[in-house]
Amino acid sequence: MFLEESITLEQIEQLLDLAAVRDQRSTDPADHVAWWTDLNVARVSFADAKLALAKYYAEVWPRQDPRHRFRATAPVLIEIVGDIRKQRHEKANFVYEPDPDETGAEYARRKQAQLRAVGDGHVPAHSTAELSPRPVAALVAGVASVRALPAEIADALAPRRTGPRSVRCPRCSAAPRVLCANGNGKPMNAPHPARIDAHAVQTTDCPECYVVAGDGCREMGEPYRGGAHPGRVKAANVATRTEGT
């Protein structure tokens, strides 16, 4: 039986020497031939065989009971190399790009050759690969930090963005940023009218009596008993919507 060599007899000798250093085995020509045949049938390269041997003695060997340890064999290396190749394919997520002029036989040979190349750790230059799937967490990582405002800006804008809730309610005494409560102590979706007026007074100049923000509305020189003029409340609501609510 003729075998296309993926590993030579000289390399087999080197491989068995590396194994002997680790497990103090002795070998003879029959071992060399057996390993050469098995690894070539499985198309294992010298580089992958050395990697598999190192993985076996670094990861598998230490877990075995010292009294019953098994020396590495060609079938064991072939199994480890199979796992290595599988991981390479998963990482590369290889997709074959067919030649429109190739025959069925050519397609099979070319694709098989490219799959072997990927398994050996070489992605052919004339092939394509899909983008590897990425977890959602990886895709959105960092987005929140990019969108988040600096703390000093967020603090400055917070009162504006919460509208009437940015001030204490003169009706139920709800603290800033806390929902108003009804007579039974249950939270209300909408703020009390008095809180809406208080917010307008604190944040907006009045277009009707021309007082500035912070001063109460006035009517005929006297304090306005309605809390805040409707135009002032409307202006405060418009400003609140414009600034982010």
Model pLDDT for residues 175-199, shown as the tens digit of each residue: 998 999 988 888 988 899 999 999 9
Residue 152 has pLDDT above 90, yes or no: no
Which range has the worst mean pLDDT, 45-54, 161-170, 178-187? Answer: 161-170
> Structural domain tally of the chain?
3
Check residue 92 and give its pLDDT: 74
Residue 139 has pLDDT above 50, yes or no: no
Which range has the worst mean pLDDT, 73-77, 82-86, 129-133, 219-223? Answer: 129-133
C-alpha closest to that of 74 among 104, 115, 30, 21: 30
Q: For residue 13, tell me if it sits in a domain.
A: yes
Residue 128 has pLDDT above 80, yes or no: no
Shared domain for 204 and 229, answered yes or no, is: yes
| Selection from 10-19, 83-92, 149-158 with the highest mean pLDDT | 10-19
**How does residue 146 score in pLDDT terms, banded at 50, 70 and 90?**
very low
Shared domain for 158 and 113, answered yes or no, is: no
Shared domain for 111 and 189, answered yes or no, is: no
**How does residue 157 score in pLDDT terms, banded at 50, 70 and 90?**
low
Shared domain for 158 and 236, answered yes or no, is: yes
Shared domain for 105 and 173, answered yes or no, is: no
Check residue 149 and give its pLDDT: 53
| 54-74 average pLDDT score | 90
Q: For residue 157, tell me if it sits in a domain.
A: yes
More confident residue, 67 or 10: 10
Shared domain for 211 and 224, answered yes or no, is: yes
Q: For residue 202, tell me if it sits in a domain.
A: yes
Q: For residue 66, tell me if it sits in a domain.
A: yes
Check residue 107 and give its pLDDT: 76
| CA pair distance 23, 16, nearest whole angstrom | 10
Q: Collapsing DSSP states into helix, strand and coil, what is residue 211?
A: coil
Shared domain for 13 and 52, answered yes or no, is: yes
Check residue 156 and give its pLDDT: 53
Residue 77 has pLDDT above 90, yes or no: yes
Q: For residue 203, tell me if it sits in a domain.
A: yes
Q: For residue 185, tell me if it sits in a domain.
A: yes
What percentage of the chain has pLDDT greater than the value 90? Answer: 38
Q: Collapsing DSSP states into helix, strand and coil, what is residue 219?
A: strand
Check residue 9 and give its pLDDT: 94
Answer yes or no: are the C-beta atoms of 7 and 43 closer than 8 Å: no
Shared domain for 109 and 87, answered yes or no, is: no
More confident residue, 195 or 137: 195
Shared domain for 115 and 175, answered yes or no, is: no
More confident residue, 133 or 227: 227
Check residue 132 and give its pLDDT: 47
Shared domain for 216 and 167, answered yes or no, is: yes
Q: For residue 216, tell me if it sits in a domain.
A: yes
**How high is the mean pLDDT of the chain?**
80
Q: For residue 176, tell me if it sits in a domain.
A: yes
Check residue 151 and give its pLDDT: 54
Check residue 148 and give its pLDDT: 52
Check residue 198 and give its pLDDT: 93
C-alpha closest to that of 229 among 204, 169, 241: 204
Reported as a single tens digit per residue, the pLDDT across 208-223 is 888 888 999 988 778 8
Shared domain for 158 and 238, answered yes or no, is: yes
| CA pair distance 175, 165, nearest whole angstrom | 8
Which range marks the domain in which residue 105 is found? 95-131
Answer yes or no: are the C-beta atoms of 84 and 51 closer than 8 Å: yes
- Domain boundary, last residue among 131, 157, 179: 131
Shared domain for 160 and 238, answered yes or no, is: yes
- Domain boundary, last residue among 82, 103, 131: 131
**Letter for the amino acid at 68?**
H
